[in-house]
Chains A and B, each alone.
Chain A
Amino acid sequence: MSQITVESVSQSIYENLLTTLIQDIVSRTTTEEQLLRARYNQSLSPYYYEKSGALDIHGNPKQQDSSVYVHCDRCNRDVSANRFAAHVERCLTRGRR
């Protein structure tokens, strides 16, 4: 005969609570993953991670801002991205005069 003690009942109530929590977490995580896989079938790959922190989530190194050019709609010129704010200040005030 299985002994029913306060101990064993406490234990089983505790396990009930815990397994419910675990099942909840696991079911959420699996459905989430299923949805991701169904939606982005082949192209789904995790974000790139590198310990040293040199590469971004696509696995690319940092691009130099000075090598990027932004087109200024007002004066129709390409301006270096890291000088754009300074350019706009001059470009817009000159235009107003």
Chain B
Amino acid sequence: MTSSDSRSLELKAQIQQYLVQSGNYEIISSKLTQMLLEDGWMDEVKRLTNEEIKSNDSTNFTQILAKVEPQALEMVSDSTRNNVINQIRQFLGEIVDTE
């Protein structure tokens, strides 16, 4: 790992810590949860998980997660995705300087 990589990781950690302390992280998190719930994404992921359990005949968490995670990330609707990312970007805009 180069020094710039570790520096960027550190920066991300700092930003996240700031978001948590300012209470913004919770706002974003609960908004995302609510939107995904209203989209039916939550139930859809649960259904998908059950399907994978059945088709692989396995309840191994690591194995099932590897199958479900990429699909579940894809399943988020564009509007939810953009909405949440915009909100995060807006919070970040208030606290970071860009060159």
The residues of A with any CB-CB pair to B shorter than 8 Å are 1-2, 4-7, 9-19, 21-23, 25-27, 29-31, 33-34, 37
Contact status A30-B49, CB under 8 Å: yes
How many residues of chain B get a CB closer than 8 Å to chain A's CBs? 39
Interface of B is mostly: helix
Contact status A6-B89, CB under 8 Å: yes
Q: In the assembled complex, how far is the CB of residue B9 from the closest CB belonging to chain A, in whole angstroms? A: 10
State which of A2, A10, A21 has its C-beta within 8 Å of the C-beta of B92: A10
Contact status B50-A29, CB under 8 Å: yes
Contact status A34-B59, CB under 8 Å: yes
Contact status B53-A9, CB under 8 Å: no
